């Protein structure tokens, strides 16, 4: 098991596969999952000669179940500690959902030479929650409902989410994968309830607008039009307008978890963007 230790004593678990002299790709998972959610993509890019790295966010997976630090500034600082420890240069950072927010904050603050490109997939930026400045966002009641469900019965909640909207398995004609559902539950239950609870605020209420504006590197924004978790109209379509060098690619009818349900479509598109 490979870990780094951050300044506050938190141990961050990570996987690091492939040639050390190859261009690194760093993967950032969604809530409430772990680095394991990237197995398909890590094997795909490993097969194309890249060095692939994925970590478990603090409080998630095999990283320390900390009492605090479950907000985007600390998440980004943890990523910086990892990239410094591995001395990653010219890396591509790929984030899904909450991980897309983590990528956005990290890349906006990253040291020169660390980041070549970024990819945001089904990502939460600019900001999810509805407010006077974000009238198209989701009402706070939606996120309060997530918190209530987690507190009431986290184990059942972590079955209901992947069985329903996350992978679009609640849509008529959907090809349901019990393996994906079970693996989502397994990853979620590895993490800490307090971290998952506090992360709901982090992914829903953090405003990444200024971060997006500061990112000069090329960024691919990929989003499914049937994303029931992070609706495209208030995320990707707004984020790409704030990015100085952003490209939006939409996927008709695909769900939030399209990286897992349709990797044969998404992976080659990400590879083409990285190589371009």
Quick check: is 227 catalytic? yes
How much is the mean pLDDT over the chain?
98
pLDDT digits (tens, 9 = 90+) for 99-151: 999 999 999 999 999 999 999 999 999 999 999 999 999 999 999 999 999 99
Residue 1 has pLDDT above 90, yes or no: no
Catalytic residue among 34, 97, 204, 235: 97
Confidence at residue 272, expressed as pLDDT on a 0 to 100 scale = 98
> pLDDT tens digit string along 13-29?
999 999 999 999 999 99
Chain segment 212-227, per-residue pLDDT in tens: 999 999 999 999 999 9
CA distance 211 to 96: 17
- Among residues 36, 60, 256, 260, the one annotated as catalytic is 256
Q: Which of 196, 227, 234, 235 is catalytic?
A: 227
Residue-wise pLDDT for 176-211, tens only, equals 999 999 999 999 999 999 999 999 999 999 999 999
- Map out the domains of the chain as residue ranges: 2-275
- In this prediction the pTM is 0.98
Residues 34-51, mean pLDDT to the nearest whole number: 98
Residue 234: per-residue pLDDT: 96
Has residue 248 got a pLDDT over 80? yes
Q: For residue 131, how many other CB atoms are within 10 A of its CB?
A: 12
Which residues, including other chains, have CB under 8 Å from residue 156's CB and lie 6 or more apart?
none
256 is catalytic: yes
Q: Name the CATH code of domain 2-275 (choices 3.40.50.1820, 3.40.250.10, 1.10.3210.10, 3.40.190.10).
A: 3.40.50.1820
Q: Distance between CA atoms of 142 and 122, rounded to whole angstroms?
A: 18
Cα gap 175→168, rounded to integer Å = 9
Cβ partners under 8 Å of residue 224, min gap 6? 122, 232, 250, 251, 253, 254, 255, 256, 258
What is residue 58's predicted lDDT score, i.e. its pLDDT? 98
């Amino acid at each position: 098991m490979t870990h780094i230790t951050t300044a506050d004593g938190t141990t961050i678990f990570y996987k690091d596969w492939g040639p050390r002299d190859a261009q690194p790709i760093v993967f950032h998972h969604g809530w409430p999952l772990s680095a394991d959610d990237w197995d398909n993509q890590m094997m795909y890019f490993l097969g194309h000669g890249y060095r692939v790295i994925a970590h478990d966010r603090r409080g998630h997976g095999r990283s320390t179940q900390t009492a605090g630090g479950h907000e985007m500034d600390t998440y980004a600082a943890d990523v910086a500690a990892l990239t410094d420890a591995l001395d990653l240069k010219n890396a591509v950072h790929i984030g899904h959902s909450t991980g897309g927010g983590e990528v956005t904050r990290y890349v906006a603050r990253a040291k020169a030479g660390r980041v070549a490109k970024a990819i945001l997939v089904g990502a939460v930026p600019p900001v999810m929650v509805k407010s006077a400045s974000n009238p198209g966002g989701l009402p706070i009641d939606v996120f309060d409902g997530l918190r209530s469900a987690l507190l009431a019965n986290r184990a059942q909640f972590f079955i209901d989410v992947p069985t329903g909207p996350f992978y679009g398995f609640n849509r008529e004609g959907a090809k349901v994968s019990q393996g994906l559902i079970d693996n989502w539950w397994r990853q979620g239950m590895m993490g800490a309830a307090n971290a998952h609870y506090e992360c709901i605020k982090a992914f829903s209420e953090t405003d990444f607008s200024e971060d997006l504006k500061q990112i000069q590197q090329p960024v691919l924004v990929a989003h499914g039009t049937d994303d029931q978790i992070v609706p495209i109209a208030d995320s990707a379509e707004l984020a790409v307008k704030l990015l100085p060098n952003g490209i939006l690619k939409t996927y008709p009818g695909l769900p939030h978890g399209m990286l897992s349900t349709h990797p044969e479509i998404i992976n080659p598109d990400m590879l083409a963007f990285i190589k371009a």
